[in-house]
Amino acid sequence: MPQDGGASGVAKRRILASIVVPPHMSVSGGARAAEQLSAAVSSQCDVTVASMMNGAAAIPSAESQGPVHRIMVRSWRPPLLPWSRLPSRYSTLFYRSDLPAIIGRGGYDLVHLHNPMPALEFERVAKACRATGTPYVISTHGFNEVANGARIYGFDRLRSLAWQQLVVAPVTRAVRRAAAIFALSPSDISIVRGMGYDGPIEIVGNGVPLPAPASLAADRAVLERLGIPVERDSSEISCMFLANHTPNKGLPDLLQAFSRLRCPYLLVVGGQQRDGIDYERYSRACLPGQRIVVVGRVTDREVAALFRRADLFVFPTLADTFPLVVLEAMSHGVPVLASSVGGIPYQVDENCGVLVPPGDPAALADAVQMLARDRARLVGMGDHARARVVREFSWARAAEQAVAGYGRVLGGHGATPPRSSVSPELPDVD
C-alpha cells in the first residue's frame, strides 16, 4: 500500500473506505457521499475505496486534490438458494462480498464503513476489522431508515421481526464495537446511543460541490429531450422531485398532495420508476395548466439542468438520514420544501426552505400553494439556500472533520496500530 509522505515527510494515514451497498443498485446516496468524501479526504490521507457497487467512480470536485486508489469488490449471494423466486428487496439482505478479505490483506491504519445495507455484510466487515486489530469508524448513512424501517414500510409482525433480526441487530452489533461514530447530523446521536453505543461521536456531515457554470444551449437540449417546456410560464410554479421511488421517499404523498392543488404547476419527477405507483392516474387527474412529467433516471448533467429550471425542490421523505439531493438543490439556489425528519432540519433552516410533517399530503399541498403565491419569497430562500451550502456544507469542511476524527481515533499518529494474529472471518467463495 502506498505511503506517500506530505511536505513534512510524515507518512499519510492509510484509510480504507469500505462502501457496503447492494451491488445491483444504479444509484445510492450513501455510496455517492462516501465516494465524494473519500475524494476530498485524499488530499490529506492515503485513501483506498472498496465499493460493492464497483462501477461508481469517485465524483470529481474542486475540493478533491489527491488520488483515490480503488479495489474491485466481488459480491454474490450464497449459492444453491432460489433467489430468483424472492423479490430483490428480500434477496438483497443476503449479499456477501470480499470486503472482509480485502481488510484481511490490507495493512490499513483505519477502515471507514459507509452505508449499513445489506446489514449482514456490514457486520461481517466490522468483524473483519476486529479480527485484524484495525480500528473502524462508521458514518451514519441510512441509519434513520434502519431505525424506522419497520414503520415506514408498514411491516406486519413477522416482517418486523425479520427486519429486527436481519437489519437492526447486525447494524447494532457493528456500531457497539466501533472506534468512533461519524454522525451526519445531531439527529443521529440518539439513534446510535439507542443502539447501546457509548463511545465518541463526531459530527461529519455531507457536502456538495458548487455547480459548474450553466450552458443555456446545453440546458435547452436537455429539457427538450426530456419533454419539458424550455420557456417558463409565469403563472405556474415549477417543482422538482428526485429520489429512488422506494416507499421511504414519500412519492405517493407527493402525488396526492399535487392532486389537491388548484394552482397551475409543472411537477418534474426524477428517479427510476417502480411497479405499484400509478403515475398515469395522477397525470390524467391534472387540471388545465397543471402537468406532471416523469423523466425516470437522469444523468448529473440532466439533473443540473432540471434544478436550474425549478422554482422549488419538493422532498416529502418519510425517513432520511442526511439526503445529499437536498444539498444539491440548495447549491443550485433552489429552495426546499421537505419533511421534517432525520437530518433535514439540520440542512434546511427557515431562511432557505419550509418543513412539514412527514406523511401529510394536505400540509404539503398547503405549503406549495402558499409558496406559489409568493415568488419573492421563493427567490430569497433560493439565495439563502446557496449561501448556506457555501458556508456550511462543502466537502472541504467535511474532509477536515473526518481527518480530525481519524486523528483522534489513531491517537494523532500515522503508524499502523498493532494487529492480532487471528485470521479474519472470510466469506466462502464457492
- List, for residues 109-159, the tens digit of each pLDDT value: 999 999 999 999 999 999 999 999 999 999 999 999 899 888 888 889 999
Q: What is the pLDDT of residue 11?
A: 66
CA distances from 236 to 221, 231, 361 (A): 22, 12, 20
Q: Name 19's bridge partners.
A: 51, 114
Tens digits of residue pLDDT in 72-100? 999 998 887 777 777 777 788 899 999 99
pLDDT, residue 66, reads 61
Nearest to 322 by CA among 210, 209, 204: 204
Domains of the chain: 14-207+394-409 (3.40.50.2000), 216-392 (3.40.50.2000)
**Tell me: the pLDDT tens digits for 26-78?**
778 889 899 999 999 999 999 999 999 875 444 444 344 567 899 999 999 88
155, three cell numbers: 411491516
**Residue 179 β-bridge partners:** none
The answer to whether 36 and 207 have CB atoms below 8 angstroms apart is yes
Task: Please calculate the CA angle 178-180-181 and round it to the nearest 5 degrees.
Answer: 95
Averaged confidence pLDDT in the chain: 88
What contacts 374, CB < 8 A, 6 or more positions away? none
Residue 415 has pLDDT above 70, yes or no: no
DSSP 243-276: S--SGGG-HHHHHHHHHT--S-EEEEEES---TT
d(CA 430, CA 424): 18
Q: Is the pLDDT of residue 232 over 80?
A: yes
Distance CA 236, CA 267 (A): 10
pLDDT of residue 273: 83
- pLDDT single digits (tens) 317-363: 998 999 999 999 999 999 999 999 999 999 999 999 999 999 999 99
Angstrom distance (rounded) from CA 358 to CA 250? 8
- Coil/strand/helix, residue 330: helix
Q: Which residue has the higher pLDDT, 5 or 378?
A: 378
- How many Cα atoms occupy the beta-carbon half-sphere of 415 within 13 Å? 4
Q: Is the pLDDT of residue 429 over 80?
A: no
> Please, which pLDDT band fits residue 239 given cuts at 50, 70 and 90?
very high
Average pLDDT in the 239-256 region?
92
In which residue are the cell numbers 503508524 written? 415
